[in-house]
Amino acid sequence: MHFLNLLMNKSNNDKCKLQKIVELDYLRGISALAVISIHVLGFYSRIEGESTLKIVISYLAKFAIFAVPCFVFISGLVLYKNYFTVNVCSFFKQRFSKILPMYIIFSFFYIILLASFNYSQG
């Protein structure tokens, strides 16, 4: 219950008002930079042979690996914070109504693009 009190602020009329957690924005920024560094360092990790640069790049990439689980944690926390009073069925209905149309549209374009590349190669 203490966790809910941290996420929420009771106003005078006893309605719950959600607070923004500023530290999550900092954590998102650090995680975003770590994800970018993973992708950049992944390109340079293909350096041939053993060198000091390759060792440093390897350690930096291992240090930045926290970013993906961090994004999953932040997403779960923000979803919980914003939807903990919402009915599960209405939550999924709302999410699918936003996600499913775009998924179908982009899947259609992907199938057309894939078919055109296969047709041009074969």
61 vs 59: CA distance, rounded Å: 5
Could you tell me the end-to-end alpha-carbon distance of the chain, in angstroms, rounded to an integer? 62
pLDDT at 15: 45
Ranges of the chain whose pLDDT falls below 50: 1, 10-15
Q: Which residues contact 63 (CB under 8 A, 6 or more apart)?
A: none
Q: What angle do CA 69, 74, 77 make, to 5 degrees?
A: 125
pLDDT at 60: 86
Sign of the dihedral through C-alpha 12, 18, 24, 29: negative
